[in-house]
Amino acid sequence: MEENVPAGRCVVAVDGPSGSGKSTVSRRLAASLTARYLDTGAMYRAITWAVLRSGVDLTDAEAVGKVAAEVDLRIGTDPTGYGVTADGVGVEAEIRGPEVTAAVSAVASVPAVRALLVARQRDMIAKAGRIVVEGRDIGSVVAPDADLKVYLTASAAARAARRSAEDASDVAATAADLARRDKIDSTRKADPLAQAPDAVVLDTTELGIDEVVAKLRVLLAERNVA
């Protein structure tokens, strides 16, 4: 997959809060475009895993930044099956666990961590040329010149239901955790979660994955980049 991406630039930035469908939509869209896929959230989660393993205080921005700078983070860009490693350890399952989920917003709020990963993400986008990138600041910060910027959203109830179904967790507890993370991510000083001014807003509350992907393909065709 990664060695056979066709020529022709196509950068799609997909932003939005947790549970809005970003990951599933982005992976499926990338596969349909024969493009690469980058889950920037997984990068922040992998750094968070490394920070937790190091034992440093999450409120010590300097220490957290030091861990981030030293960890050997690697992430694949194949939408059909990408891997994430930190210091040679496969952490795909670990970074989705409750411990990392509870701490990732705090780690992602550290300016040094964001500066490091944004630079890495921009480099990966430039090298790929044809890629779907998902996160919380892609259209506004990481790839402001993306061919298509999309902000996926959904009702709080729908987002909580989707996430609790994925994690087999309590819906009420999940809703509270999503609200907590949204507040942290949208109010942080460095690259907060925000809708880019020129992003297309798409409410996925009543839409299936295939419907969302189809709508995005239409938007790309209108821009002559699909």
The span from the CA of 59 to the CA of 107, in Å, is: 9
Q: Which of 19-33, 80-94, 169-183 has the lowest mean pLDDT?
A: 169-183
The CA distance from 15 to 34, in Å, is 20
pLDDT at res. 226? 63
- Residue 5 per-residue DSSP state: P
> What is the signed CA dihedral for 65, 68, 71, 76, rounded to 10 degrees?
-170
- This prediction has a pTM of 0.87
- Average pLDDT of the chain to the nearest whole number: 89
Mean pLDDT of 95-119: 94
The DSSP symbol for 129 reads S
CA atoms within 13 A on the CB side of 10: 26
Residues 142-191 have pLDDT tens digits of 999 999 999 999 888 888 887 777 776 778 887 787 777 777 777 777 76
Per residue in 122-139, pLDDT (tens digit) is 999 999 989 999 999 999
pLDDT digits (tens, 9 = 90+) for 200-225: 999 998 888 899 999 999 999 998 77
Determine what percent of the chain is predicted with pLDDT higher than 90: 65
